[in-house]
Amino acid sequence: MGHPIGLDQPGDAVLNSHLLQVNSPTWGEPDNGAGDRLEAKFGAGVIVRRVEHRGELTLDIPVDRLLDVCRFLRDHEGYDLLSDVTAVDYLGYQGEVAGYWGGGSDGRDINHYSHSGKAAVPEAAGPKRFAVSTTLCKVMTVADGNHRRLRVRVWLDEDESISTLISVYPSADFHEREAYDMMGITFAGHPNLRRILMPDDWGGHPQRKDYPIGGEPVQFSDEV
């Protein structure tokens, strides 16, 4: 009988190698020199933090430099494709935000908005709640086999907005609308910033950590 995933030689080493190959991105290698070139153009302060993880390079930059950085990457570095824009809510990260009933320090009340837990992000980026990442790729501007990818990330709080990238990458349109709809991220200058998944009159932003998901208390046997 053959190996269940079609490998000739079973074993952890072979399995890990196979999984690594399957999960490796197919849109090019990380552009490890991009950070240095950005600093040469904009100065050392343009890169707040560099993160290399699982074959991905992420550059944290100040939120007010995003538009200029992305325009430079398109016009001078050949990044012709914006692949995605994603947002993460770090409320309660490494703190105690999970829970069911009560709220406050005891956990999260799933029927009401709650801000239990503490927002914790890398110190270099400051005490910000949200991270917004933009993935850029070199596709048509380079020869086959030379494709590159880069993730640019900014951090912001609820009272901060981020510049829309539509003027540089029109494909940012629906991605930004989804981040607004699900996370409440405001993209300044977006020509049509409205919900894209939820009804227009929906209250709140469903993927925020403090969004009340709703539910009814259940009396378990160990509580009787």
Quote the CA–CA distance of 39 and 34 in Å, as a whole number.
9
The pLDDT value recorded for residue 189 is 98
- Token couple for 36: 């240095």
- Cβ-Cβ contacts under 8 Å for 92 (sequence gap 6 or more): 98, 116, 117, 118, 119, 209
What is the pLDDT tens value at each position of the chain, 224 positions in all? 444 444 444 555 655 665 555 555 556 788 999 999 999 999 999 999 999 988 889 999 999 999 999 999 999 999 999 999 999 998 876 654 443 333 444 445 556 666 544 445 555 455 688 999 999 999 999 998 889 999 999 999 988 999 999 999 999 999 999 999 999 999 999 999 999 999 999 999 999 988 887 767 677 776 55
Instruction: Provide the pLDDT for residue 55.
Output: 83
Helix %, strand %, coil % of the chain (to 5): 25, 20, 55
- Output the pLDDT for position 2: 42
C-alpha distance from residue 92 to each of 97, 193, 195, 206 (Å): 5, 28, 26, 16
Give the span between the Cα atoms of 6 and 60, in whole angstroms. 40
Whole-Å CA distances, 26 to 13, 141, 166: 22, 16, 25
Please tell me the total number of residues recorded for the chain in this structure: 224
Q: Any idea what DSSP says for residue 132? A: E
pTM for the model: 0.77
Closest CA to 84 of 128, 146, 150: 150
**Rounded to whole angstroms, how far apart are CA atoms 151 and 132?**
10
| Domain annotation for the chain: domains and CATH numbers | 27-88+128-206 (3.30.460.80), 91-125 (no CATH)
Give the pLDDT confidence score for residue 211 in this predicted structure. 86
Q: Give the residue among 196, 197, 212 at the shortest CA–CA distance from 108.
A: 212
